[in-house]
Structure 1
Amino acid sequence: MPDKRFEDRVVLVTGGGTGIGQSIALAFAREGALVVVAGRRTQELKQTVVLAREEGGRADACTVDVTDEEQVAGLMGTILDRYGALHVACNNAGVPGSGRMLHEFGAEDWRRVTDTNLQGVWLSMRHQIPVMLKQGSGAVVNVASIAGIVGYLNAAPYTAAKHGVVGLTRTAAIDYGPAGIRVNAVCPGPVLTPMLEQARRDRGPSADEFYLRNIPLGRLARPEEVASAVLWLSSDSASYVTGQALAVDGGWTAQ
């Protein structure tokens, strides 16, 4: 049986309907959390809730677009009305943006990627942190990417946004550490998810060779491996860890 490190804690996971977000939500539920999964795709969110409940966990779903501040504020209001607290927030919602050189991306593509991957994280934190300030504690984990630590071939808007997420994480850790709030990021390498499948299509036949030649462990990550890192950063075991960008990348950024 898994440890119950998050017994009775309220946890929010954005982008919780598929891939990494779903794995994170299910991992929190297994460890006793009351998990709220949020995102744009209602059916996928409901499926995560079903899976969590089938394993004996507690979960709820809220449809929200993290690029819309009114919806983000409404989400936080709903969480407080239903559960009265927010102990952990994992800001995972994101979209892909790769496969072309910088000058080949148009303004619409740039906004689509940065609005979700960067502004969506900022808006989420903007409404999560006041709740944690009132509580006097909390943990935020933002899902960035190795593209937030190093340059990433043919992914200018994605890389810019994920570097921004790492910067937001570090600044928030400094700003809110005195108030008892820890803020960290995980930076996954390529992970076996639907988003990676989209990136593979964008990059074409050479995609897998590009990924694998850069990973010393010689394989792609599983979503649950990223989830394990998120849970550790959110837990009391990481009580003295804040402002960090933890690479979960099979060694990619060690080179």
Structure 2
Amino acid sequence: MSSTLTITPPARIALVTGAGSGIGKACALALLQAGWTVVFSGRRADTLVSAIAESGVAADRAWAATTDVTDADAVAGLFDQIRQRHGRLDLLFNNAGIFTAGVPIDELPVDAWRSAVDTNLTGAFLCTREAFRLMKAQDPRGGRIINNGSISAHTPRPNSVAYTATKHAMSGLTKSCALDGRAFDIAVGQIDIGNAATDMTTAMARGMAQADGSVRSEARMDVRHVADTVVHMASLPLSANVLFTTILATGMPFVGRG
């Protein structure tokens, strides 16, 4: 009687920033469901622990790493932990980000501008830099990085100069790193999201300022659709890459915005 040898594939390791709530939480949970081992990163330990508890997976498949992505030393420390625990990283989802108050540029405090740049852009740069270092050195070499862009990477909302500028810059970061990553089997892509239903977008249902000066309620979509798209992008072989993709609520005014 012959026996069949079952070979368990090695765990795929993912890091999701801003994983305690919203899009980051939804994507981290979806990656767990798809069989990934996931590092939940964010500023608040309580939300990270709560998100992991909600997943119901074994403790060795998910762990929380409290990290401020604007702090270069903290980011380096996070990647050191990943290297020590797992020896590699297969996916980085640069999701951490903040909105700024909707005010005209001449009323925007410099501190608010810097906060947006530090979190939305510099945070992604710092994590990508460390991911490149790890992915280039690990064996097998390579990995995937997905950046959370935005509809605002294409078209702004009124009075959103800081957020819009950082998201346009994110597209440049994606393109540059996709080019530079080729030689090292690192695939870099971006998902641009419009009106996913999370706590951060509840105001959209109540009414958002439009370019014509009106205020109108906007359609939103289930955040699960974003998570499914991220899981699909992550599941591709490194020989294929979704460089840019846009997923949005069908009824939102993006196409006719402006």
TM-score, length of structure 2 as denominator length: 0.86
> Equivalent of 1:156, from 157, 161, 164?
161
CA apart distance, 1:112: 1.1
The change in CA–CA distance for 1:92 and 1:38 in structure 2 (over 3 A counts) is: same
Match of 1:109 in 2: 112
- Map 1:211-222 onto structure 2 (within 5 A): 212=218, 219-222=219-222
- Map 1:110-125 onto structure 2 (within 5 A): 110-125=113-128
- Map 1:83-162 onto structure 2 (within 5 A): 83-135=86-138, 136-162=141-167
| Structure 1 range deviating more: 245-254 or 156-165 | 245-254
The change in CA–CA distance for 1:55 and 1:193 in structure 2 (over 3 A counts) is: farther
Matched, 1:169 2:168: no
Match of 1:3 in 2: none
User: Do 1:29 and 1:57's aligned partners in 2 also have CA atoms closer than 8 Å?
Assistant: no
- Map 1:168-247 onto structure 2 (within 5 A): 168-197=173-202, 200=203, 205-206=207-208, 210=216, 212=218, 219-236=219-236, 239-242=239-242, 244-247=243-246
Distance 1:103 1:163 in 2: 20
Q: Unpaired runs of 5+ in structure 1?
A: 1-5, 213-218
| Structure 1 range deviating more: 135-144 or 14-23 | 135-144
User: Do 1:30 and 1:56's aligned partners in 2 also have CA atoms closer than 8 Å?
Assistant: no
CA apart distance, 1:206: 4.3
User: Do 2:52 and 2:62's aligned partners in 1 also have CA atoms closer than 8 Å?
Assistant: yes
Distance 2:169 2:32 in 1: 29
Distance 1:168 1:115 in 2: 14
Which is helix-richer, 1 or 2?
A: 1
Distance 1:21 1:245 in 2: 18
Q: SS state of the match for residue 142, structure 1?
A: strand
Higher radius of gyration, 1 or 2: 2
Q: Deviations over 1:219-248 (max 9, x none)?
A: 302211111111111112674225x22111
| One-letter code aligned to 2:196 | V
How many percent of aligned residue pairs carry the same amino acid?
A: 32
Match of 2:247 in 1: 248
User: Do 2:120 and 2:167's aligned partners in 1 also have CA atoms closer than 8 Å?
Assistant: yes
Distance 2:239 2:85 in 1: 27
Q: Unpaired runs of 5+ in structure 2?
A: 1-8
CA apart distance, 1:99: 1.6
TM-score, length of structure 1 as denominator length: 0.86
Q: SS state of the match for residue 79, structure 1?
A: helix
Distance 1:22 1:93 in 2: 11
Distance 1:185 1:26 in 2: 19
CA apart distance, 1:146: 0.6
